[in-house]
Structure 1
Amino acid sequence: MIENENHIEEIANEFAIAGEFISGEEVDSGHINSTYVASFKKSDGRVGRYIFQRINENVFKEPLVVMRNVEMVTRHINWKVMRVKRDQGGQTLNLYPARGGRFYATGDGGGIWRCYNFIEGCKTYDIVENTRQAYQAAHAFGAFQDLVCDIPVEDIKETIPDFHNTPKRYARLMEVIKEDPKGRVASAQKEIEFIKERQGIVSKLIDLKEAGVLPERITHNDTKINNVMMDVESDEAVCVIDLDTVMPGLSLYDFGDMVRTAVSPAAEDEVDLSKVDMRMPMFEALAEGYMDACDCLCDAEIENLAFAGKLISLEIGIRFLTDHLEGDVYFKTHRENHNLDRARTQLKLVEKLEEHEPEMESFIKRLAKARSYHQTLP
């Protein structure tokens, strides 16, 4: 048995898993946590698979706080799905208990581990291939938002401070530009000027929240399509995964990140910027899916859905550019100027979203009116 399998079996023995360990292997996906899949033979001869995951303590400084959030949210959602919604798209992965009744274990080599059920017959997609997938993913995230809307915000703790604080991201970029620690500022002047021209929008959502116009909610904060499990045969959303970033935030951050990652056919690090585009049918499918599933949205949230994608794309562009200027200390890079390429792709998407913003706003208003969402929209 290889060393990894020995390690997985040791970790598995800390959890309430029935059956005999057969094999295990590391899953080469995701950029943060270490993930393994293990197979167990049950007493009736069937084989079951389980996911074991170690929380990355470099990213999440308080892993037990992460686990407390995940446990609270999964319990609430699964109770609500069974008792109220009865909606498959609102399900989550289930945590398996460890020794002592906790939902985590400590490995021999340190670290906080957890165990999830493995959902058979499902897969994830890195790029949205069609409007059905866009609708299903948005519906799943909308259902998630609706299911957690009644959890008191103060019950869920912040795991990454200021994660979507766009003004602070902008201020940090300005500091790095002034310091120019790696001598890279001169080669990014075009991108810097593009961002500076949009300084006036970076605080819009936070200002609305502080004014009491936008409600603070429990949000997912990582709403890429690959965080939705899709049924292989039907392409229907089965559940939302990767709940480590669940914390207080704005629903518009979640919707905006969906727009950022779904409307363009180009990869996040595409060097040919002519491939970056804004596919209006994808936006329409996202808006329909999200609004169909999420009944808790208020007027101000709906009015800013079209704006949200632009803001989050700008924010991520700022983060990529900041990391490039600092010397690539946060995001993993695989080639020279990788983070600069990523930043350019995001800023190009901002430009495309700006071109279509009136069209997107008009669609949202028609959609809200058709669904009788609110009476105060102009």
Structure 2
Amino acid sequence: MLNMSISVAQQFAPSIENIEPLGNGYINDTYLVSTSTKPFVVQKINKHVFTNPEQIMANLEVLNQHIVQANNPQITLKIPRLLQTQSQQNYFRDEQDDCWRALTYIENSESLEAIRNLADAEQVGLALGQFHRLTRMLDAEKLHDTLPGFHITPGYLRHYKQVKSSTKIPEDVFCADFIARYQSINNDLEMAKEQGLLTTYVIHGDPKLNNFLFDKDTRKIISIIDLDTVKPGLIHYDIGDCLRSCCHDTITDQFNLEVCRALLTCYLEEMGELFSGNDYQFVYPAIRLIPFELGIRFYTDYLEGNRYFKVTEPEENLRRALGQFRLCANIIAQESDIKGIIKQLA
């Protein structure tokens, strides 16, 4: 793989000094490439997940053009730019038909796996709010849906039931019971959209904590990355996923209320008048839904033999699912407190 990544990197720059793995994403393979001038990032797009990788590049082009045209000095968030190959293409296909692309590298930055303090949470809320504010005037119809069905929980539930009926892998009693008990929440956001209570805009799609880059010196967020899932959708999926990632104590599977308050406070201050009364109404359902949805996805992948998410051993996706379901249970137990925070901020 390393030899292949070197040869691929040379499609974007003639002289390569070093290549090292970057990040720990579940989907794409990512490398940091050092050259005699500026470093850059090379990624292999997972063709089993993104069947039309050209659409990802097209979306990123549209997003970058919108940012340039917006020219809003109040928005400090940087978005990685696509780098062309030496033959002036936005991506490169190798002999195995794998699709590779290069992006600018945000220097002197770091990603986090866990919130260090409430200031980090405030930064995440500010950055997500800036992203949603920045893209609010971008027509979502200009973007391809790079992952049809992504964040459509009823579809994940249907797929789980299909897999459950045919898998040879023994079911986990806790996971099966939890899904059966709470499956009625699966349509909360999609029903609100159908009823006209929530509107489709541009979403990031995967705003978990380690997709925000912090400046190493100032500890302020300077970029949001992993833009493959940018697409039309409900911003509540972003809000719920961001809070799931940042507020989850992975040791106890508890939902941290203080991190939730800090993050939401800064997010809503940034969004201001763009956040409607209906939007506030569905924040709690989004917070509750996303760990339930992700738990279903992890558990279904486990029952299918781990086809989607990267694993290091067969039961890793089962453990991931258990963690998400326990988090969801804790969110449900703290419903009144979470709703109280949202009411105070409305």
Is TM > 0.5 for Structure 1 vs Structure 2?
yes
Structure 1 residues 294-333: aligned runs within 5 Å: 294-295=271-272, 296-333=274-311
Q: 2:231 aligns with which of 214, 223, 247?
A: 247
Match of 1:184 in 2: 170
Please say if residues 10 and 16 of structure 2, whose CA atoms lie closer than 8 Å, have aligned partners that are also in contact.
no
Q: Distance in 1 between matches of 2:297 and 2:96?
A: 33
Match of 2:213 in 1: 229
Q: Report whether the alignment pairs 1:277 with 2:217.
A: no
Question: What SS does the aligned partner of 1:36 have?
Answer: strand
Structure 1 residues 259-274: aligned runs within 5 Å: 259-266=243-250
Please say if residues 213 and 225 of structure 2, whose CA atoms lie closer than 8 Å, have aligned partners that are also in contact.
yes
Q: 1:84 aligns with which of 53, 72, 97?
A: 72
Structure 1 residues 24-103: aligned runs within 5 Å: 24-27=19-22, 29-41=24-36, 47-80=37-70, 83-88=71-76, 90-99=77-86, 101-103=88-90
Match of 1:203 in 2: 187
Q: Distance in 2 between matches of 1:106 and 1:116?
A: 16
Q: Distance in 2 between matches of 1:183 and 1:97?
A: 45
Deviation at 1:209, TM superposition (A): 0.3
Please say if residues 8 and 24 of structure 1, whose CA atoms lie closer than 8 Å, have aligned partners that are also in contact.
no
Root-mean-square deviation over aligned CA pairs: 2.1
Question: What SS does the aligned partner of 1:22 have?
Answer: strand
**Residues 77-116 of structure 1: per-residue CA shift (max 9 Å, x gap):** 2432xx224321x221122234565433444664333222
Q: Report whether the alignment pairs 1:116 with 2:100.
A: no
Aligned residues: 344
Please say if residues 307 and 357 of structure 1, whose CA atoms lie closer than 8 Å, have aligned partners that are also in contact.
no
Q: Which moved more, 1:118-127 or 1:287-296?
A: 287-296
Unaligned runs of 5+ in 1: 15-19, 42-46, 268-274, 369-378
Q: Report whether the alignment pairs 1:288 with 2:265.
A: yes
Unaligned runs of 5+ in 2: none
Q: Distance in 1 between matches of 2:263 and 2:24?
A: 25
Deviation at 1:328, TM superposition (A): 2.5
Q: Mark the CA change 1:197 to 1:28 in structure 2 (over 3 Å): closer, same or farther.
A: closer
Larger radius of gyration: 1
Q: Distance in 1 between matches of 2:96 and 2:81?
A: 25
Please say if residues 108 and 215 of structure 2, whose CA atoms lie closer than 8 Å, have aligned partners that are also in contact.
yes
Question: What SS does the aligned partner of 2:138 have?
Answer: coil
Give 2:284's aligned amino acid: A
Give 1:76's aligned amino acid: H
What is the TM-score of this pair, normalised by structure 2? 0.92
Q: Distance in 2 between matches of 1:215 and 1:314?
A: 22
Q: Mark the CA change 1:357 to 1:39 in structure 2 (over 3 Å): closer, same or farther.
A: same
Please say if residues 260 and 312 of structure 1, whose CA atoms lie closer than 8 Å, have aligned partners that are also in contact.
yes
Deviation at 1:28, TM superposition (A): 5.5
Deviation at 1:341, TM superposition (A): 1.6
Q: Which moved more, 1:21-30 or 1:279-288?
A: 21-30
Please say if residues 11 and 85 of structure 2, whose CA atoms lie closer than 8 Å, have aligned partners that are also in contact.
no
Q: 2:115 aligns with which of 128, 139, 161?
A: 128
Q: Mark the CA change 1:347 to 1:7 in structure 2 (over 3 Å): closer, same or farther.
A: same
Deviation at 1:66, TM superposition (A): 0.9
Q: Distance in 2 between matches of 1:5 and 1:133?
A: 34
Identity of aligned residues (%): 29
Deviation at 1:256, TM superposition (A): 0.4
Q: Distance in 1 between matches of 2:198 and 2:124?
A: 24
Q: Which moved more, 1:229-238 or 1:31-40?
A: 31-40
Please say if residues 229 and 241 of structure 1, whose CA atoms lie closer than 8 Å, have aligned partners that are also in contact.
yes
Give 1:93's aligned amino acid: P
Match of 1:152 in 2: 139
Q: Distance in 1 between matches of 2:91 and 2:66?
A: 18
Match of 1:358 in 2: 336
Q: Report whether the alignment pairs 1:337 with 2:302.
A: no
Q: Mark the CA change 1:11 to 1:192 in structure 2 (over 3 Å): closer, same or farther.
A: same
Please say if residues 324 and 340 of structure 1, whose CA atoms lie closer than 8 Å, have aligned partners that are also in contact.
yes
Q: Mark the CA change 1:355 to 1:104 in structure 2 (over 3 Å): closer, same or farther.
A: same
Please say if residues 314 and 346 of structure 1, whose CA atoms lie closer than 8 Å, have aligned partners that are also in contact.
yes
Deviation at 1:64, TM superposition (A): 0.6
Q: Distance in 2 between matches of 1:59 and 1:100?
A: 27
Deviation at 1:349, TM superposition (A): 0.6
